[in-house]
């Protein structure tokens, strides 16, 4: 059984007490400690900046040409905080409660409570940095309700909240680079973790411009390397998002928790061809005014505007009268898949789309009002699809958006490997089996600004400096292994392009381990993945040489790791024979066809240990106990 090191005492006092109980590093000693932060998204940039401000020597790495490009930048909707500025009954406890419930009782209560507590400080910090949040005419911050929440607690900056928050954290980071306390390493990809005597003490990165391998040692390593949604090939993630850093850490001993928890976002632009490289999300605020429907008759050939009201199936409104089109993401996504699987989908080709219709909203409020609310989203849709959503209903379909699973961490955000901390989407801790809208930005910044600056000090004060030098044989061994893997890849002179393998893996995962899974499908995927992995190593063609700017090699390395991680995802999904949160296990449903959670069997975190045999990892469990929020089956009827 895993020990999450949750502090004792009442829920609302745990974090305050823990901050007092933790050891501190004397201000004069902080500069003697070196900290590596990998990733410059919300979690990474905020951690690097905050730790540098405190006096630690920080090295910060990113794969892009600038830290400002991390994929946090693409978040549209907003960030939650329990400020209760609208006076509508919000509180830290309510945000905590909603997040635990929304996560379908698969998150750790103590972490979520801390998240809700520090949420208010995040907004203060961002405003002070100059983040231009939306304001009302009195000059105060505006809030909106988001993702079906019954209070208005979401702060936003037009449809670009992630961009503005990231640029805020980036500016704080640039301030610290300017004082010389953060060394910034752009266009570097972490290819391995160095662990000596059980303690994480460094990383090996590839300089993506020169191709040279570089070793960096430190007293602690912080990974903030994002999620692994690109295992599905098509997702709303940026093209560069990958699992490599987390996966390499896993192979060095870090447990990977709940890898099968992925979130499928209901309002994305549908797939339109084999060549497609990514899916584009449109803010789910669209569901506030759009009505979701499909024709009642399978394969109805009529144009949507010619289909009379009686022949339209408003499936969400009919099945869930009290929430209607505003059911949570997982319910909306699953029902879209369901109607399409039944043959009612629209859009031509494989008919994998449903309508999102604004005709009623336009009739009710006028085109001007709809345009003021959603103009930029309609424009984006038209740019991609070449169709005018003011006249023809939009077509939408769910897409992989976020991964709740990640490296296992304790309450201090440290993995089971001493010295290795994991923040943001890369860890597993706060969203359980389903993340609520506007909570990802909150978690990334909470981890980086307010949690890790406290807990890293405790670790360093306890463990002391790492004595490992570059000459240590284990460091040399890791360097050689990384170089060996790169050589194997560049010497692969097969016939197929890297992308072809990635596409095939993605389809396999979408079919077998997507939003609805069953035992037979998972077993089929588990049989095919090792075969595909073998085909990859035998028949992939990697062009160019390792000592240059080589994007083909970069992609190949990432796909190679996805090929391994995919198997763990399927094993985890197979083990969890319950439906919960973002995933629906077909064998586990109510008579009405709704998700059936099995608390007696599965109220635990599944943390997997690599054994060297990819098909036989060891399962470790962290029991989840619920003191404050009582376990109930969610109902949106």
Partner 1 sequence: MAGKLINITLRVWRQSGPNDPGKLETYKADGISTDMSFLEMLDVVNDGLEREDKEPIAFDHDCREGICGMCGSVINGVAHGPQSETTLCQLHMRKFKDGDTIIIEPFRANGFPLIKDLAVDRSALDRIIQAGGYITVKTGQAPDAHAIPIPKPAADIAMDAASCIGCGACVAACPNASASLFTAAKITQLCTLPQGNPERTTRVIKMVQQMDKEGFGSCSKYYECEAVCPKGIKVENITTMNREYMKAMVSGK
Q: Mask of contacts with partner 1, 276-315, x by CB under 8 A?
A: xxx-xx----------------------------------
Query: What single string gives the DSSP state of each residue in 508-549?
Result: HHHHHHSSEE-HHHHHHHHHHHHHHHHHHHHHBB--S-TTS-
- Cβ closer to partner 1: 288 or 543? 543
Q: Which is nearer to partner 1, 6 or 127 (CB)?
A: 127
Minimum distance of partner 1 from residue 403's CB (angstroms): 17
Q: Does the footprint of partner 1 cover residue 438 (CB under 8 A)? A: no
> Do 447 and 413 contact (CB within 8 A), yes or no?
yes
- The Cα-based distances of 336 to 316, 325, 556 in angstroms read 9, 11, 33
Residue with tokens 């990892």: 617
Give the count of residues interacting with partner 1 (CB under 8 A). 88
Contact 246, 190 (CB under 8 A): no
Comparing CB distances to partner 1, the nearer of 302 and 523 is 302
Judge whether 485 counts as a catalytic residue. Answer: no
Instruction: Report which DSSP code applies to 142.
Output: P
| Minimum distance from residue 170 beta carbon to partner 1 (Å) | 8
Q: Out of 206, 329, 517, 585, which one is annotated catalytic? A: 329
- From candidates 495, 531, 600, 616, binder to partner 1 by CB under 8 A: 495
Site for partner 1 in 204-233 (CB under 8 A): 209
CB of 559 to partner 1, least distance (A): 12
Which helix (DSSP H) or strand (DSSP E) does residue 398 occupy? Answer: strand 394-403
Residues 6+ apart with CB under 8 A from 609: 253, 255, 617, 618, 619, 620
For residue 621, CA distances in Å to 385, 559, 617 come to 45, 29, 13
Query: Under the criterion CB under 8 A, does residue 172 sit at the interface with partner 1?
Result: yes
Exactly one of 30, 83, 250, 287 binds partner 1 (CB under 8 A); that residue is: 83
Does residue 581 contact residue 103 with C-beta atoms inside 8 Å? yes
97-156 binders of partner 1 (CB under 8 A): 121, 123-130, 132-141
Q: Rounded distance, CA 124 to CA 144, Å?
A: 17
Closest CB to partner 1 among 29 and 543? 543
Are 78 and 156 a contacting pair, CB within 8 Å?
A: yes
Stretch that binds partner 1, among 22-30, 190-198, 244-252, 449-457 (CB under 8 A): 449-457
Answer for which of 163, 267, 443, 579 binds partner 1 (CB under 8 A) is 163
The distance of closest approach from Cβ of residue 390 to partner 1 in the complex, given in angstroms and rounded to an integer, is 16
The pair of structure tokens assigned to 163 is 């961009």
CB of 350 to partner 1, least distance (A): 14
Site membership for partner 1, residue 499 (CB under 8 A): yes
CB of 6 or CB of 141, closer to partner 1: 141
Reduce the DSSP state of residue 143 to 3 states and report it: strand
- By CB under 8 A, tell whether 469 contacts partner 1: no
Which residue among 46, 107, 220, 565 contacts partner 1 (CB under 8 A)? 46
Q: Which has the closest alpha carbon to 421: 47, 24, 30?
A: 47
Instruction: Give the active site residues.
Output: 329
């Amino acid at each position: 059984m895993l020990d999450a090191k949750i502090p004792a005492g009442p829920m609302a006092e745990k974090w305050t007490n823990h901050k007092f109980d933790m050891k501190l590093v004397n201000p004069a000693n902080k500069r003697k400690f070196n900290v590596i932060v990998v990733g410059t998204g919300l979690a990474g940039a905020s951690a690097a900046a905050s730790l540098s401000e405190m006096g630690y020597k920080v090295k910060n790495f990113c794969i892009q040409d600038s830290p400002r490009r991390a994929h946090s930048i693409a978040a549209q909707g907003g960030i939650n905080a329990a400020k209760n500025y609208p006076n509508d009954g919000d509180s830290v406890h309510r945000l905590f409660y909603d997040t635990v419930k929304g996560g379908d009782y698969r998150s750790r209560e103590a972490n979520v409570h801390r998240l809700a507590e520090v949420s208010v400080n995040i907004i203060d910090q961002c405003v002070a940095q100059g983040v231009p949040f939306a304001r009302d005419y009195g000059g105060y911050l505006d809030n909106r309700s988001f993702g079906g929440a019954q209070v208005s607690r979401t702060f936003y900056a037009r449809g670009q909240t992630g961009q503005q928050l990231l640029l805020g954290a980036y500016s704080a980071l640039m301030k610290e680079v300017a004082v010389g306390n953060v060394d910034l390493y752009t266009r570097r990809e972490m290819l391995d973790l160095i662990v000596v005597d059980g303690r994480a003490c460094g990383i090996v990165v590839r300089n993506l411009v020169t191709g040279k391998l570089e070793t960096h040692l430190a007293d602690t390593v912080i990974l903030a390397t994002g999620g692994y949604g690109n295992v599905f090939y098509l997702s709303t993630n940026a093209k560069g998002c990958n699992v490599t850093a987390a996966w390499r850490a896993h192979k060095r001993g870090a447990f990977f928790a709940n890898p099968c928890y992925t979130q499928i976002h209901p309002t994305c632009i549908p797939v339109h061809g084999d060549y497609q490289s990514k899916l584009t999300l449109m803010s789910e605020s669209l569901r506030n005014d759009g009505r979701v429907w499909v024709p009642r008759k399978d394969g109805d050939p009529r144009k949507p505007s010619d289909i009379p009201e009686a022949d339209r199936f408003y499936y969400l409104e009919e099945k869930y009268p009290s929430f209607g089109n505003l059911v949570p993401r997982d319910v909306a996504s699953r029902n879209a898949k369901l109607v399409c699987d039944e043959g009612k989908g629209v859009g031509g080709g494989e008919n994998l789309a449903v309508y999102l219709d604004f005709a009623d909203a336009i009739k009710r409020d006028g085109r001007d009002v709809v345009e003021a609310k959603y103009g930029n989203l309609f424009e984006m849709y038209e740019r991609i699809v070449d169709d005018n959503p003011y006249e023809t209903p939009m077509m939408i379909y769910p897409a992989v958006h976020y991964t709740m699973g990640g490296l296992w961490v304790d309450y201090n955000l440290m993995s089971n490997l001493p010295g290795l901390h994991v923040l943001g989407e890369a860890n597993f801790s706060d969203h359980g089996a389903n993340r609520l809208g506007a909570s990802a930005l909150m978690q990334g910044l909470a981890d980086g600004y307010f949690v890790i600056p406290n807990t890293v000090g405790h670790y360093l004060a306890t463990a002391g400096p790492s004595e490992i030098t570059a000459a240590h044989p284990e460091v040399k061994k890791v360097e050689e292994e990384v170089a060996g893997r790169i050589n194997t890849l560049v010497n692969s002179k097969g016939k197929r392009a890297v992308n072809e393998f990635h596409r095939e893996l993605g389809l396999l995962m979408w079919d077998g381990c997507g939003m609805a899974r069953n035992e037979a499908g998972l077993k089929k995927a588990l049989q095919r993945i090792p075969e595909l992995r073998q085909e990859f190593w035998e028949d992939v063609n990697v062009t160019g040489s390792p000592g240059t700017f080589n994007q083909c090699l970069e992609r190949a390395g990432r796909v190679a790791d996805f090929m391994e991680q995919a198997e763990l995802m399927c094993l985890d999904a197979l083990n969890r024979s319950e439906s919960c949160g973002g995933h629906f296990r077909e064998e586990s449903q109510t008579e009405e066809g709704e998700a059936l959670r099995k608390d007696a069997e599965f109220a635990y975190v599944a943390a997997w240990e690599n054994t060297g045999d990819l098909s036989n990892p060891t399962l470790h469990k962290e029991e989840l106990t619920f003191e404050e929020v009582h376990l109930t089956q969610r109902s949106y009827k």
